[in-house]
Amino acid sequence: MPRPPADSGQDNATPFQAVPSETERHLRVQSITVFVNDADAGLQSYVEKLGFRVAFDVMLPTGERFISISPPNGDTNLALMAPPPGTPMHSLIGRSMQTAFMTEDIDATYKEWSGRGVRFENPPVLQPWGGKVTQFADLDKNIFGLIGIDIFTKHIEEERRKNAKRLEAERSARMEMEIARQVQAKLFPQNFPP
């Protein structure tokens, strides 16, 4: 197990330990906000070029439009926002998002997205840790990373999928139990006999 850094001032530090938990809690990134110049153009670009799907596209009571999209087979949403020019948020358009997407076949994804007009900084490059990476820009020059799955991330992805299946099975079981409870309740007389 890893130990605290040498400069932490702890000579005989105990190893870091995971906090024990009676049940595994599902935790995931809900959304990442991406600022764009034009909501319609940004939405069209993500859907047509990157194959994202629309989670929802609504007008809020404040009059602002809220768009949420998600990558194919992914469970994290991108929230597209088009802030008015001159606002502090508008200055955040066209920056490095410090966010990376992971794909099982980076070379195929690179080829497919390049064919659709996605601008990559370079072809996927093999890293010392065994995975390949590259970067691409969206229509508004927001920059994202693209990472190919290596042996370590493949294990993490398999665990994520197993957990997702387990959570879905638990949800289905709860729903079936509730239906069974309702059916069973209807088998008993609904009114007391006189």
User: Which residues are registered as beta bridge partners of 23?
Assistant: none
Average pLDDT over residues 43-61: 93
Q: For residue 178, is it within any domain?
A: yes
Q: For residue 182, is it within any domain?
A: yes
Q: For residue 165, is it within any domain?
A: yes
The percent helix, strand, coil of the chain (3-state, each to 5) is 35, 25, 40
Write the pLDDT tens digit of every residue in 57-85. Answer: 998 888 889 999 998 877 789 999 999 99
Burial of 126 (0-12, 13-18, 19+ CB in 10 A): exposed
Answer yes or no: is pLDDT of 53 > 60.
yes
Write the pLDDT tens digit of every residue in 89-101. Answer: 999 999 999 999 9
Q: For residue 154, is it within any domain?
A: yes
Query: Could you give the number of structural domains in the chain?
Result: 1
Q: For residue 138, is it within any domain?
A: no
| pTM confidence score | 0.65
Query: Which pLDDT value is given to residue 173?
Result: 86
